[in-house]
Amino acid sequence: MSRLRERLRRQLGEPSELGQQREPAREAGAQSGGGGTDGESRDPRDSGVPGSLAAEPSEPRATPQQRDGVGDRLRAMWSRGGSGRQSIVRSGRRRQASSAADGGASLGTPRFRPPGPRRVDPARPPTHPPVLERELRGDAGGAWFHCTARLCADQRHGTYALGRALEVDAAAAVLLSGDPALVGFDPRRAVFFDLETTGLMGGGGNLAFIVGVATVSDDGVDLTQYVLREPGDEAALLEGLLPTLEAATALVSFNGKSFDRHVLADRFVMNRMDPSVVLDTPHLDLIHPARRLYRSTLSSCGLGRLEEARLGVFREHDLPGSEAPAAWFAWLRTGDASAIRRVQDHNALDLLSLVTLSAHLARCVRAPGAALADPAALAQAGRLLLERGEGERGEEVLGMLARGDAGDPVVYGAMHHLAEHYRREGRYADALPLWERMRTAAGANDLYPWRAAAIALEHRVGRQGDALSLVESALDALARGEGFAGRDELAALLARRERLRRKVSA
């Protein structure tokens, strides 16, 4: 018999044990009453589930046409083993690779990586999660753990002080997102948020068991986690969350525009609440500008990589996000809160990194030269500025880069984009010298500067003779084998030469 089967059989054979494990939590809650404040030492589940909150199951009514004994039949099918048993409880995809190995059955306590030995690398000082105060909020209809921390504006999270998020003004938000809806962005009225969910797929059964939100003021950062105790408390939790969302003039997230926002909206719909408070609020999703700036510089643009590479945040004993659902389910089923606390730490760090990432990215677009050491990222910032209509500052950034060695691909790329920008603006006097330097650097290996300059000279500047000699030199270089042109390109060059010759001779 496989270990899985043994485990399943054990689990199923002893349903009473599961029940017993749940009971003490309720009793303990009934005695201790109000919320604990010592977040690190106390299990939130033990610390405050008033007995009145644990509603007694009412006697369920069976509708008359329903046949009885189905539970026993199902148990018989299951206890018999084989793949039939699996089909009953087997479910679809889950995040953990490990669960695929045991056939996808859902039972059993997940194993968490124990905290490793402490070893501090001076170049990577660990960033500690904030200490959260926990309080049970709600009433008999439903309650949630309201976990809060207030951090001073000058407290550092990695290399940035948290208060610097106040520098993210409307101009920066619009620049970063390209979204005109953020024109009224005010960092003091924005809500930074990040969810921990029980599934990856979205939909009705995917719960947000932690809704982490942070707001920034002159006093510092207020961080709040709404922690779901069990599925039935969700409506209460969302009601509790609603005022914060209603007060927000913008949401800030990392990848929230395509994932978290929809999950949260779905939760509102599931509880018959209006999801527009999530869907219609202007949304600044930092993953897009971060990717834009760093896609050619960083190996990945995940939050973890950005933290280490740009924010100076190094996590210690971080619980991987993929293990978060199992941690919550362990808490739900057995009351074991050790892992859920690590999920809370993970979520709190994510939120604080979101706050400082916004400050970092705002700085990157406001003062790219100072914020970005890497030329490739700088070039991306310059292009972003140009695209967002910040011509002058974009020119400045790209212009600075373009002064470098044209043999460097980044510099060459910057020259290309700057020249194109000038061309679009009709500033040929600025573009022509760039094209010339590009031609000198690349020869006929890149026909763009030849072609672009020839077109400009022929049609815009009216210097047909110069255009002709350009085209002729390009063809000469190609003839000498100094470069390569596709058939169409070559044909276009030849045609241009013919036309220019006619024009010049005329």
Partner 1 sequence: MPEIPRHRGIRKVLDNLLEHPRTGPCVTHHVTIEGTAARYEEFPDWIHPTLRGALENTGVKQLYRHQRLAVDAVRRGEDLCVVTPTASGKTLCYNLPVLQRILEDPETRAFYLFPTKALSQDQVSGLQAVIDSLGLPVRTYTYDGDTPADARTAIRTRGHVVVTNPDMLHAGILPNHPRWRKVLQDLQYVVIDEMHTYRGVFGSHVAGVLRRLLRLCEFYGSRPTFICCSATIANPAEHAERLLGRPVTLVDKSENGAPSGPKEVILYNPPVINAELGIRSGVLSQARRIAVPFVEQGIATICFTGSRLHTEVLSRYLKEQLAKKPKLQGRIASYRGGYLPGMRRAVEQGLRSGDVTCVVSTNALELGIDIGRLDVAILAGYPGSVASLWQQAGRAGRSATRSVVILIARNSPLDQFVINNPEFLFEASPEHARIDPDNLMVLVSHLKCSLYELPFRADESFGNENLVEMLEFLEEAGLAHRRGDTWHWSDESYPADGVSLRSADPENVVIIDKTANDRVIAETDRMSAQTIVHEGAIYMVESRPYQVDRLDWEQCKAYVRRVKVDHYTTAQSYSRVRVLERFEEEEREQGGIKAHGEVHVARKTVGYKKIKLYTAENVGYGDVHLPDVEMHTMSFWLTLPGEPLRLAGYRGLDVVDGLLGLGSAMRSLAALHLMCDTRDLGLALADPEDQWVAGLGRGGQRTVQRTNEDAEPGDALELERPTVFIYDNLPGGVGLAEKAYALCDDLLEQARRLIIGCHCEGGCPSCVGPIGAVESGARAVAIDLANWLTGRIPRPRGPQWEPEAPPPLHPEERAEAQAGARA
| Binding-site ranges for partner 1 (CB under 8 A) | 11-12, 15, 18, 55-58, 60-63, 65-75, 77-78, 80-84, 86-95, 104, 106-107, 198-206, 230-232, 262, 265-266, 269-270, 275, 325-326, 329, 332-333
144's enclosing H/E stretch is strand 142-152
Look up residue 81 and give its two tokens: 């083993």
Q: Where are the alpha helices (DSSP H) in 255-390?
A: 261-270, 276-279, 287-294, 303-306, 324-334, 338-366, 368-371, 375-387
| Bridge partner list, 502 | none
* Nearer CB in complex with partner 1: 62/370: 62
**Per-position DSSP letters for 358-384, written without gaps between them:** HHHHHHHHHSHHHH---HHHHHHHHHH
Nearer to partner 1, 184 or 232 (CB): 232
Nearer to partner 1, 326 or 364 (CB): 326
Q: Least distance from C-beta 490 to partner 1, angstroms?
A: 24
Q: How far is the CB of 75 from partner 1 (least distance, A)?
A: 6
* Residue with Cβ nearer partner 1 (201 or 495): 201
Report the residue number, 95 or 346, with the smaller CB distance to partner 1.
Answer: 95
- Output 28 or 200, the one with its CB closest to partner 1: 200
* 59 or 488: CB nearest partner 1: 59
Dist. CA 246–CA 156, nearest whole Å: 29
Residue 242 Cβ vs partner 1, minimum distance, rounded to whole Å: 17
Least gap, CB of 261 to partner 1 (angstroms) = 12
3-state secondary structure of 102: coil
How far is the C-alpha of 419 from the C-alpha of 434, rounded, in Å? 6
Q: How far is the CB of 19 from partner 1 (least distance, A)?
A: 10
Residue 85 CB, shortest distance to partner 1, in Å, is 9
Min CB(354)–partner 1 separation in Å: 24
The minimum distance between CB 340 and partner 1, in angstroms, equals 14
CB of 278 to partner 1, least distance (A): 11
CB 381 within 8 A of CB 372: yes
Minimum Å distance from CB 288 to partner 1?
16
Which of 493, 423, 494 minimizes the C-alpha distance to 461? 423
Q: 87 or 440, CB closer to partner 1? A: 87
Q: Are 293 and 364 in contact (CB under 8 A)?
A: yes
Decide whether 1 or 429 has the Cβ nearer to partner 1. Answer: 1
CB of 59 to partner 1, least distance (A): 8
81 vs 369, which CB is nearer to partner 1? Answer: 81
Minimum CB distance to partner 1 smaller for 40 or for 72: 72
- Put the strands of the sheet holding 283-285 in their side by side order: 133-139, 142-152, 220-228, 208-217, 190-197, 250-253, 283-285
Rounded Cα distance between 354 and 483, Å, is 47
**Which of 18, 8, 15, 42 minimizes the C-alpha distance to 329?**
18
d(CA 19, CA 57): 13
Contacts of 437 (CB under 8 A, 6+ apart): 406, 415
* Cβ neighbours of 329 (radius 10 Å): 17
3-state secondary structure 437-456: HHHHHHCECCCHHHHHHHHH
The distance of closest approach from Cβ of residue 166 to partner 1 in the complex, given in angstroms and rounded to an integer, is 34
Place of tokens 């922690």: 227
Query: Which C-beta is closer to partner 1: that of 31 or that of 66?
Result: 66
**Three-state SS for 208?**
strand
Q: Which of 443, 377, 378, 369 is nearest to 407 (CA)?
A: 443
Is residue 333 within 8 A of residue 205, CB to CB? The reply is no
